[in-house]
Amino acid sequence: MIVEILEVLFLGLAGLMMAYLVRHYIFTLAVLRWAQKGRKAEATGNASYQPTVSILIPAYNEERVIGRILQRMTELTYPKDKLQVIVIDDASTDKTEEISEQYSSTFDLIKVLHRNENEGRRGKASALNAGLKLVAGEIVICFDADYYPQRDVVEQLAKEFADPEVGAVQGRVTVLNEPYNVVTRLVALERIGGYRVDQQARNNLGLITQFGGTVGGFRRDLLERLGGWDESMLAEDTDLTFRVYLAGFKVHYVNGAECYEEAVENWRAYWRQRYRWARGHMQCAFRYSAAVLKSHNLVAKEKIDGLLLLNVYFMPVLTLLSWLICIPLFFLLTQPWLFAFWALAPISLYSFVGNFAPFFEVGVGAYLDGRRRAPWLISLLVVTFLYNIPICTKALLDLLISRASGKKSTCWNKTMHSGNGNSYIMKK
Amino acid sequence: MPRDKSKVALAIKALICISLGNRGPTLEWKTSHLVFGFSAAAIASYAFFSCPRINNESAIMLTIFNFLFVSVTFPLNGTLVRKSALLLIGNVIGLSWNYLFSALAHVVAYYFGESANTLYMILSPFANLIWIVSYWSVCLTVLSKSENRKTED
């Protein structure tokens, strides 16, 4: 009886893993097929559409990087009379305030909002909501303080809003400090798979394109109607993505709107960041899975993809569970079909664990980016993939405990930035 | 942090090349390559399962390799000859790997008993995927067009 239960459970989990594998396989082939049409097909939106834009930059103790992005804001090619930059100094204790004020006094388009200790340090969503009150533009774009956008990023993002169905846009994130060490190189590979293939495919196939929390924007009126960012959510970006879709709007991904980020540089920082993402994403899964299924604003393929996207951070935990079930089955059964399933285990290792871009998705993304040597490290992704198993398992356990005990589950663990990415930016 | 200025300069060049667009190839999707690749993979798989000298575990892994390799490599740019050669080399590597690994397992089983065979059964799929992913990654470099290579040179 126990063996039969284990068998059914294992086959169910294997089926779930296959569903994700097929999903990513379709994404990879779709992007390859789309790439055949050439880069001209990439141009979407109306380039002449230039609404007023407000840029929000939340910053807490970002003295090492805030000057870099503010300098970049002054270099953007978007018409300055249509641009507003708001830095939200979230009660920083370092020189963030001083540096921001220097830029604000020199450049009229930059405004600084200071939050004191009572108001601030409540997480990114809280800071963004405070900034939203000062926004004057029709479009609100967010950047993290460690980001470094290309000069025409605002044009690239804003043009998508010419389509009235578009409620939000997302640009591409590329790792700035990629050559720093093996962690940053692996994060860069994850980003390539996640944006160049995964986001692009979801956009092209009319599925759920995700707003990633930065290098993206919203219509201000929609954002206000939705009540801004939800401060109780750790993954406020995923939360907002689903609220936008449930409200009947779309999120567009613009691969040409590139922005560099300073990736985490060690495994401890990687754990903290991914733990926050995993726990926040799981929060969203509990909150929106049923709503996605019931929504009248989503078609069937969006519902399926929405559910797969919402539940993606459960996959490392389920993969671990399937391996644990597989071991007793391996010893208890001698069925010939078992090895075939067992052979799937390593594929699952490279496909469902980690940042959830399977190795072939990462490789094809790197190929399409014209990266020659970057794919050589793909085999090492197994390290990050395995590392994500305890991260997601702990995130799930903590979330379940906090839900059961009724304790507040938002504990914003900020990623600190070293500013090492500064050395990769060419001085003019 | 890169140790010397030339490395930093190279990194900057690479990043700028990437950021300025014009990156990556325009893909020439060739259905005929895919059809040929899948046919070759199917024939090879049949041969692996039919051949008594190749154990089932190896045959399964080589079949997975062949279909995975064809589906995500044959749509890329490059001549059919080059892709076929890479597929053939992959199969040779796979067969050699599996023979070596099973030979090692036999030796270990001889000295440490039959329980070592279980270890082989558990480890071999993982060991196989490591060479499959590594080999496929290297093949991507081979199939990259020469004009794209300058970005990381």
Mean pLDDT for chain A overall: 86
Q: What is the pLDDT of residues A175-202, one digit of tens each?
A: 988 888 999 999 999 999 999 999 999 9
**CB contact at 8 A, B116 and B109:** yes
CA atoms within 13 A on the CB side of A229: 29
As beta bridge partners, residue A173 has: A259
User: What is the reported pLDDT for A391?
Assistant: 94
Q: How many CA atoms lie within 13 A of A15 on its CB side?
A: 6
- Distance of CA A243 to CAs A226, A228, A281, Å? 7, 10, 14
DSSP letter assigned to residue A416? P
Nearest to A76 by CA among A109, A113, A42: A109
What pLDDT sits at residue B18? 44
pLDDT mean over A327-349: 63
Mean pLDDT in chain B? Answer: 76
Q: DSSP H helical segments within A172-231, as ranges?
A: 182-191, 200-204, 220-225
In this predicted model, what pLDDT tens digit does every residue of A46-60 receive, in sequence order?
Answer: 778 899 999 999 999
What is the C-alpha to C-alpha distance for residues A311 and A309, in angstroms, rounded to an integer? 5
Q: What CA dihedral angle connects A16, A17, A22 and A23, to 10 degrees?
A: 80
* Neighboring chain B residues of A38 at a CB cutoff of 8 Å: 26
* Both structure tokens of A404: 């059961």
CB B32 within 8 A of CB B70: no
Which whole number is the average pLDDT over A157-165? 93
Of the listed ranges A114-118, A232-236, A354-358, A399-403, the least confidently predicted one is A354-358
Least confident of A225-229, B7-11, B119-123: B7-11
Beta bridge partners of A86: A56, A111
Average pLDDT over residues A209-218: 92
CA distance A272 to A366: 26
Query: Residue A44 pLDDT > 80, yes or no?
Result: no
pTM of the model: 0.84
pLDDT for B28 equals: 65
pLDDT tens-digit profile of A91-150?
A: 888 889 999 999 999 999 999 999 888 887 788 899 999 999 999 999 999 999 989 999
Range in A188-192, A284-288, B70-74 with the lowest mean pLDDT: B70-74
Instruction: Lowest mean pLDDT of A200-209, A213-222, B102-111, B131-140, name the range.
Output: B102-111
Q: How many percent of chain B have pLDDT more than 70?
A: 75
**Is the pLDDT at A64 greater than 60, yes or no?**
yes
Residue A349 has pLDDT above 90, yes or no: no
**Does B153 have pLDDT greater than 50?**
no
What pLDDT score was predicted for residue A340? 59
- For the domain bounded by A49-162, which CATH number is listed? 3.90.550.10
Rounded CA-CA distance B82/B142 in Å is: 9
Chain A residues lying within 8 Å of B138, measured CB to CB: 375-376
| Nearest beta carbon to residue A423 from set B1, B60, B143 | B1
- Cβ-based contacts under 8 A for chains A and B: 146
Q: Which of B7, B19, B140 sits opposite A375 (nearest CB)?
A: B140
Torsion angle of C-alpha atoms A319, A339, A360, A269, degrees rounded to 10: 30
Using N-to-C axis directions, what is the helix angle for A2-36 and B56-73, rounded to 10°?
A: 30
Min Cα–Cα distance to chain A from B98, Å: 14
Determine the distance in angstroms separating the CA of B47 from the nearest CA of chain A, rounded to an integer: 18
**For residue A208, with 0-12 CB atoms within 10 Å meaning exposed, 13-18 middle and 19 or more buried, which class applies?**
buried
- Determine the average pLDDT of the residues in A32-47: 67
pLDDT digits (tens, 9 = 90+) for B15-49: 444 443 445 556 666 778 888 999 999 999 899 88
The answer to whether B29 contacts A38, with C-beta atoms less than 8 Å apart, is no
Residue A409 in this model has a pLDDT that exceeds 60:
no
Report which DSSP code applies to A196. Answer: I
A216-219 vs A139-142, strand pairing mode: antiparallel
Which residue reads 């919402």 in tokens?
A310
Question: A367 and chain B: CB distance < 8 Å anywhere?
Answer: yes
Chain B neighbors of A176, CB-CB under 8 A: 15
A96 vs A331: which has the higher pLDDT = A96
Gap between the Cα atoms of A78 and A52, Å rounded: 10
- In the predicted model, what is the mean pLDDT of residues B129-147? 80
Angle, nearest 10°, between helix axes B31-50 and B56-73? 180
